Chain A
């Protein structure tokens, strides 16, 4: 960059911060709303300065099902992503090292799952689930989310394993190491960043997923995103205090995730084809 005078540089940085704040403002507005009273949220003119209250969060914990929604979301996210990662890691190793016939076709089919509109995927699966009575069961939901997380993970992990030289495998084999040893002791530690990227990205995806949960889930497996649409109304109006406090609590995990794992964000969003750090 060209050299700037001090005040021009400051102006430039202030301008960038203004842009950041423009993009962050809607989120900030909801976080602020979570600490207002219901009247405060709907007051005209809007309140910018107010005495924060934790009443909405207290109300939230008093609500019957909220704890359950959180448990559902957490259980489903963690277990489906974990299953997907184990399965994908093994397959990615096989695709990368043995290149069995049909590898490129399978990789293509996996990728196309990601490209199909979610609603087109869910039509046939809902038929299957209705027939097998898997609707509204943890098993059905977790396995479906795992299936949906597999394509990302296989692509990302294959890219990372391709990046580890095959000499490592050969050296280990020559020295009498088993394949088991190679996969879990030699390769696994070297692709840890790929695993983290895949985990974070799939976690955000499953955590935010709405449509599948709405259609394949039910009363027992309601996740937080669906709860927004089912518990939206109270006393004849939209319950904004509930929405604001719920979404504030709900946004926290993904925001923390990108704060700590910012450099993995890009790997996940582009199937690992772009590995730039920002």
Chain B
């Protein structure tokens, strides 16, 4: 009897606490179901992330870009207005870095696109290739291997005495090539690694572009006996153009950002300094916070311009889709 009452008391307590728990849950749910509050609640976490890790630091950086500030010399901290920006425009290392980045992006993306499209077309017709899935996985490994590991691999592969490429050139042509030590070819040696890494991406995009061409139209072309050039011009390009453009644009943006590959291949001299390298050195080695903030802002604005182009193309696509449907 005694035990029974304590049990029932305990039961009532448990029920009570469950009830309050349920009530507070219900309050949360009601908040969650409130049509006005819900969107705010859902977006809030992203906004917090965005505010703390993006907006505040960026505003801070904009502020600092108007100051002369070098971490090791706090006494020199002073407001200088637009001096940093003026400095950057007359800085030779910036212009060299920018022009080198331009060559890097232009040559790299052009070669990747051309090679990727040719190889993509070749792989397209290989549905019945033995081991196609494994083959494609192996083909795509270069782009998922981190640039850090790839950079180090290629230092070994390019190595003048022990490297396999030089063993080959020595035994075939009898010549040793100082891929990374010779400043006249070091830039191209590093770019070759970039091309090796990213051509598979353009192959992937070409395959996707070809996959988006309606089968019926290809069959019609087959029946009409269109030659391959007309087939490319009238059927494949109109359908696949968007995806190819997207691939080229993404590659342009990404190769504009290249840093780790160049950093880890550690070429002596300045011949592979891209604009991102210049910024990294000024910010984290020379600790010129004010100056590098200004450069970072210039790069930021460039990136926003790129983003606008990207979105413009995306919108073109959705508009085209609406027209079709």
- Residues on A lying within 8 angstroms of B by beta carbon are 1, 12-13, 15-17, 19-21, 23-24, 26-27, 29-30, 33, 41-46, 87-88, 90-91, 93-95, 98, 100, 106, 108-113, 115-120, 123-128, 143-144, 146-147, 150, 154, 178-180, 204, 207-208, 210-211, 215, 225, 228-229, 232, 238, 240, 243, 247, 250-251, 254-255, 257-259, 262, 265-266, 269-270, 273-274, 276-278
Q: Please state if A91 and B46 are interface contacts (CB–CB under 8 Å).
A: yes
Q: CA–CA, A146 to B48, complex, Å?
A: 12
Say yes or no: is B140 at the interface (Cβ < 8 Å to chain A): yes
In the complex formed, the residue of A with least CB distance to B150 is A26
Contacts of A127 in B (CB 8 A): 57, 60-61, 64, 289
Contacts of B269 in A (CB 8 A): none
- Known A45-B171, A95-B43, A120-B296; contact A147-B136, beta-carbon cutoff 8 A: no
Say yes or no: is B257 at the interface (Cβ < 8 Å to chain A): yes
Q: CA–CA, A113 to B58, complex, Å?
A: 11
In the complex formed, the residue of B with least CB distance to A107 is B311
Neighbour of B156 across the interface among A33, A90, A143, CB < 8 A: A33
- Known A115-B306, A255-B144; contact A276-B300, beta-carbon cutoff 8 A: no
Q: Please state if A278 and B207 are interface contacts (CB–CB under 8 Å).
A: yes
Say yes or no: is B303 at the interface (Cβ < 8 Å to chain A): yes
Sort chain B's interface into a size bin. Answer: 35 or more
Contacts of A106 in B (CB 8 A): 43, 50
- Residues on B lying within 8 angstroms of A by beta carbon are 29, 32-33, 38-40, 42-43, 45-46, 49-50, 52-54, 56-58, 60-61, 64, 119, 122-123, 125-126, 129-131, 133-142, 144-150, 152-157, 161-162, 164, 167, 171, 196, 199-201, 204-205, 207-209, 211-212, 243, 246-247, 250, 253, 256-257, 259-260, 264, 275-276, 279-280, 283-284, 289, 292-293, 295-297, 299-300, 303-304, 306-308, 310-311, 314, 317
Contacts of B289 in A (CB 8 A): 123, 127
For the complex of A and B, list the 3 residue pairs with the smallest distance between their C-beta atoms, beginning with the closest.
Answer: A124-B57, A208-B146, A276-B208
Q: Please state if B148 and A91 are interface contacts (CB–CB under 8 Å).
A: no
Q: Please state if B208 and A91 are interface contacts (CB–CB under 8 Å).
A: no
Contacts of B308 in A (CB 8 A): 108
Min CB distance A168 to B, Å, is: 17
In the complex formed, the residue of A with least CB distance to B296 is A120
Q: Please state if B211 and A278 are interface contacts (CB–CB under 8 Å).
A: yes
Contacts of B58 in A (CB 8 A): 124
In the complex formed, the residue of A with least CB distance to B311 is A108
Q: CA–CA, A93 to B311, complex, Å?
A: 21
Query: Which of A30, A147, A276, A278 is most buried by chain B, counting CB atoms within 10 A of its CB?
Result: A278
Q: Please state if A210 and B147 are interface contacts (CB–CB under 8 Å).
A: yes
In the complex formed, the residue of B with least CB distance to A87 is B45
Contacts of B64 in A (CB 8 A): 127
- Known A19-B119, A273-B246; contact A240-B156, beta-carbon cutoff 8 A: yes
Q: Please state if A115 and B149 are interface contacts (CB–CB under 8 Å).
A: no
Min CB distance A186 to B, Å, is: 15
